[in-house]
Amino acid sequence: MPIKTAYQAKVEYLQIMDEHGVVDEKLAKDAMSDQDILELYQYMGKCRVLDETAFKLQRSKRMGTYPQNKGQEACAIGAGFSLKQGVDYLVPCYRENAALWMHGLPMHYIFLHWMGDERGNQIPKGVCQLPLCIPIGTQMLHATGIAWAFKMRKEARVAMTFFGDGATSEGDFHEAMNFASAFQVPCIFFCQNNQWAISVPREQQMNSATVAQKALAYDMPCIQVDGNDLLAVHKAAKDFVERARAGGGPAFIEAVTYRLADHTTADDARRYRDPQEVEAWVNKDPMIRLRKYLTAKGLWNDAKQAALDEAAKQNATEVVRAAEGIEKPAVTDIFDYTYAEMPRELEIQRRTMRTSSLGQRPEQAGLNAPGVAANHE
C-alpha cells in the first residue's frame, strides 16, 4: 500500500508593527484604532514606571524578591485588552501585572504580594482573576478547570492563562492542554516566550523550532506573534477569544518577546546572557516602537511624553503609599478567612492564641493538686 500523509500542519507568524513603528496597513486595518493605541501606550508607560518603582523598593529593602515585567508589557496589555472585564477570567503567572490592573485589581495589591502581605492575594469581589502563581505551570490546570465550568454552565465566557516558555516543559502544561483539547473548553493558552527559563535558553530546554507547535499535538489552533508588537498580540488574542466564546474551543498563542531585566531581583543575568543580545532586544522594546508610530502620526510629542512621565511618577507614589500605609493585619485574620463556619478546635485556638493543650486549658497545670477539678471545654 502507498504511504499516505496522516497529518500535516504549519505555524503562522504575525507581525503588524515592526521595531521602527512601521505598520502593515492591510493587517493594521482591523487590528486596533489609533485612539486605542494612544491610550494603551500611556497605560503602558504607567505600568513601566510602577515596575521600575517595585525594583527600587526591593533594592531599598522595602519589598521582597520581585520579577520585573519590563519589556513584556505588550503581551499582557494586548491580550488583556481582548477580554471582557468582569466576564472573562485571567489566570496569571507573575509577569502580567498590566493585564491584572487593566481588569480591576488595585495596583497596590501587586506590591503587597511581593512585600509578603497575603492581602495582596485577596482578589476583590467581581474581579475575575486568580492571584499570582509562583510555581511554574500549575496555573494552566486551574485555567482549564475554570473554562470547563464555563462550558458546563453554558456561559459565554473565556479563561486566559499566561506562562513562560519554560513552563511548556512541565507536565502540568501537557495535562492542561490535553484536557482543554479533549473537552474543547474556552481556554486561551498564552505563552510569553521571553527566551529564557531563568538561566536556561529556549534552545537548550526544547528541540522544537517554535513553542507554538506544541499545540499541534493536541489538534489545537496556534499562532506565533511578535510579542513586542501590541497590535499583533491583540489581534491574535481577539480572534482566538471570539472563537472560544462562540464555542470553538481552546487555542495557543506564542508571543516572542524578551525579558529585559533579570529573572528576579535575586538573579544576575549578566552571568549567562550576552550583552549584545540584550542590547538588540532593547531596540525592540514595545514602548519605543509605539512612540515612534504615534509620533509619526502626529499624536505624540516630547511635551506629552514629559506629562506622561510625571503622571506615571505621581501614580507610582500613590500606589506605594497605599501599599506601605495599609493598616497592620489582625492576628485573628488567619482564622477568620478560611472557613465559613469555624471548627471548634480553631475557635479555641483563636480565643486563646495557643495550640498546646496546656495553653488552651491552663487549669490543667493544677490537675495533680488535691481538690482541684479541671473545667474541660
The pLDDT, as a whole number, for residue 356 is 76
Task: Say if residue 232 is in the same domain as residue 348.
Answer: no
User: CATH number for the domain including 63?
Assistant: 3.40.50.970
The pLDDT, as a whole number, for residue 376 is 47
Q: Is residue 121 part of a domain?
A: yes
Task: Say if residue 121 is in the same domain as residue 227.
Answer: yes
User: How high does pLDDT run on average in the chain?
Assistant: 94
Task: Say if residue 341 is in the same domain as residue 206.
Answer: no
Answer whether 44's CB lies under 8 Å from 290's CB: yes
Catalytic residue among 20, 59, 270, 272: 272
Task: Say if residue 239 is in the same domain as residue 343.
Answer: no
Task: Say if residue 315 is in the same domain as residue 343.
Answer: no
Q: Is residue 232 part of a domain?
A: yes
Task: Say if residue 355 is in the same domain as residue 252.
Answer: no
Print pLDDT tens along the chain (377 aa). Answer: 899 999 999 999 999 999 999 999 999 988 899 999 999 999 999 999 999 999 999 999 999 999 999 999 999 999 999 999 999 999 999 999 999 999 999 999 999 999 999 999 999 999 999 999 999 999 999 999 999 999 999 999 999 999 999 999 999 999 999 999 999 999 999 999 999 999 999 999 999 999 999 999 999 999 999 999 999 999 999 999 999 999 999 999 999 999 999 999 999 999 999 999 999 999 999 999 999 999 999 999 999 999 999 999 999 999 999 999 999 988 888 888 888 899 998 999 899 888 777 667 777 666 555 554 544 44
Cα-trace Rg, the chain: 25
Q: Is residue 115 part of a domain?
A: yes
Task: Say if residue 140 is in the same domain as residue 70.
Answer: yes
Q: Is residue 7 part of a domain?
A: no
Task: Say if residue 97 is in the same domain as residue 227.
Answer: yes
Number of domains in the chain: 2
Query: How far apart, in Å, do the first and last CA atoms of the chain sit?
Result: 82
The pLDDT, as a whole number, for residue 377 is 46
Q: Is 272 a catalytic residue?
A: yes
Catalytic residue among 103, 263, 289, 291: 263
Task: Say if residue 261 is in the same domain as residue 315.
Answer: yes
The pLDDT, as a whole number, for residue 355 is 79
Q: Is residue 350 part of a domain?
A: yes
Catalytic residue among 245, 259, 289, 291: 259
Q: Is residue 76 part of a domain?
A: yes
Q: Is residue 6 part of a domain?
A: no
pTM value is 0.91
Containing structural domain, residue 352: 333-366
Task: Say if residue 214 is in the same domain as residue 357.
Answer: no
Task: Say if residue 24 is in the same domain as residue 134.
Answer: yes
The pLDDT, as a whole number, for residue 182 is 98
Q: Is residue 371 part of a domain?
A: no
The pLDDT, as a whole number, for residue 224 is 98
The pLDDT, as a whole number, for residue 151 is 98
Task: Say if residue 144 is in the same domain as residue 212.
Answer: yes
